[in-house]
Amino acid sequence: MHAPLGKSAGLGLALGSAFAFGGSGVAAKPLIEAGLDPLHVVWLRVAGSALIMLPVAWRHRDLVLRRPALLVGFGLLAVAGVQACYFAAISRIPVGVALLVEYLAPALVLGWVRFVQRRPVTRAAAVGVVLAVGGLACVVEVWAGLTFDAFGLMLALAAACCQVGYFVLADQGSDGDDPADPLGVIAYGLLIGTAVLTAVARPWGMDWSLLGGRADLGDTQVPAVLLLGWVVLIATVVAYVSGVISVRKLSPQVAGVVACLEAVIATVLAWVLLGEHLSAPQIIGGALVLVGAFIAQSQAPKAPSRPVAGGGPEGVPARSAGAGAELSVPHGAP
């Protein structure tokens, strides 16, 4: 009884996380069009969230000594890496191409589990990934306006690898012998991500007066600070918290496939709020992503009898709560 309930709760949290993350672009785009640099929006998002999570970081300050590698890895990969690489990529290649490459992460997670950890993956999960990635190709209409910039594609692939780090590290922190509270990991990840992004975005050059004005959300003018509040509170704090907990209740690969719904949700919200209409191929692609996510979450990978790879940062294998399988992430990975 408890396992199905836990899996259902994990799926609900994963869907909530995808919705929260998916809403970030709809709220951030008006801020960028109002004159804010994209990297400044990213910095405001992460720094504001880190400020909110400061009390949580203080409460879990023991993590700094107990799990330093996990915290640094989460901050560099799951927070700063994904966002910085993605925004750098879209400055060189179309957004649709960058998004599709980034959301190859679920397939990369399966590759990590199968070939690095040498654990079996279910055929359903593999089929789900194929359907989801194919659906994403339709959602972003990847065939329209392709320009192949080698460095831009490398940056998008780097964002995908960082997103793999998000799922793997979120699961790794749940090991039974030395568990790391997910809220503490997120809090310190945001603090570390803020430090990294401060050096990259240089917020001291930002036009702060723009936050006191209004931005166009479709045909409606909305206070810029209200949009920023949505990006910080919902699209970051709520998104990361629900996302990390869902990984622990499901598994990295299943949660990764469900996260593909972010692109569908973002497209639907852009249609409703920004007037960016969906084409027929995009609607079909959205349906494929939904089917792929459903198939992938219908089965969990089989648990091995013992860990099959090296230990985590402290040499302790991590346990995936939802799948009941041990995840042994080598030191320094990914």
The predicted-structure confidence for 206-238, as pLDDT tens digits, reads as follows 999 999 999 988 888 999 999 999 999 998 888
Query: What distances in angstroms separate CA 236 from CA 75, 93, 115, 120, one per listed residue?
Result: 13, 25, 32, 33
pLDDT of residue 211: 92
Average pLDDT along the chain: 75
Amino acid at site 282:
Q
Using the predicted structure, report yes or no on whether residue 322 has a pLDDT greater than 60: no
Using the predicted structure, report yes or no on whether residue 308 has a pLDDT greater than 50: no
Across 277-304, average pLDDT: 68
Beta strand spans in 60-131 (E): none
Close Cβ partners of 108 (under 8 Å, ≥ 6 residues apart): 160, 161, 164
DSSP 334: -
Classify residue 123 as exposed, middle or buried by CB count within 10 Å of its CB (0-12, 13-18, 19+). exposed
Q: Which residues, listed in sequence order, are joined to residue 99 by a DSSP beta bridge?
A: none
Choice between 84 and 199, residue whose per-residue pLDDT is larger:
199
Using the predicted structure, report yes or no on whether residue 49 has a pLDDT greater than 90: yes
Both tokens of residue 53? Answer: 């999570």
The predicted-structure confidence for 101-110, as pLDDT tens digits, reads as follows 777 776 777 7
Choice between 258 and 332, residue whose per-residue pLDDT is larger:
258
pLDDT of residue 146: 54
Q: How confident is the model at residue 317 (pLDDT cuts 50, 70, 90)?
A: very low
Helices 252-259 & 261-274 angle (0-180, nearest 10)? 20
The predicted-structure confidence for 282-295, as pLDDT tens digits, reads as follows 788 878 877 776 67
Using the predicted structure, report yes or no on whether residue 148 has a pLDDT greater than 80: no
